[in-house]
Amino acid sequence: MNIGQAAEATGLSAKMIRHYEQSGLLQPTQRSAAGYRQYQPKDIEILKFIRRARVLGFSLADIAGLLALWQNPQRSNTVVKQVAQQHLAEVEQKLQELHAMKQTLQQMIAQCAADGGAHCAILQHLAKPQPLIKPTRS
């Protein structure tokens, strides 16, 4: 199986498969006489593993660790869970940041007239932020 077929079989690009090999995620595969990379079914499984982990947002460094654990019969699921929990924490952190951005953007947009005039609540806020949500009367 050449790299193009491996790419199609896994949903990765040939470019990225080479990149993963060069980054040490994959052992260098066998090569044909002409130097073409040859992929065995086992290699395809590893590539699919990488792809699924990428979809979940794991970094290549994380994936290198997860692959090592996967291939180690003496692995401890405790370590795996820690990696996943750490990553989940980072995802949640980013969710919070994006949520804060979204809130502010929505409020700014809602206050912008968009009547073609020069007055603009968005620019005003960026120039000198005003409290967007009135503090609840205390």
Partner DNA sequence: GCTTGACCTTACCATGTGGGTAAGGTTCAT
Partner DNA sequence: ATGAACCTTACCCACATGGTAAGGTCAAGC
Binding site for a second copy (CB under 8 A): 45, 49, 52-53, 55-57, 66, 69-70, 73-78, 80-81, 84-85, 87-88, 91-92, 94-95, 98-99, 101-102, 104-106, 108-109, 112-123, 125-127, 129
Helix (H) or strand (E) segment spanning residue 31: strand 30-31
Minimum CB–partner distance for residue 49 and a second copy (Å): 5
> Of the two residues 5 and 72, which places its CB atom closer to DNA in the complex?
5
114 binds DNA (CB under 7 A): no
Half-sphere exposure of 44 (CA within 13 A, CB side): 15
Which residues are CB-contacts of 56 (< 8 A; sequence separation ≥ 6)?
87
Minimum CB–partner distance for residue 70 and DNA (Å): 17
Q: DSSP secondary structure string, 101-116? A: HHHHHHHHHHT---SS
60 binds DNA (CB under 7 A): yes
47 binds DNA (CB under 7 A): no
Q: How far is CA 134 from CA 33, 56, 130, in A?
A: 72, 38, 10
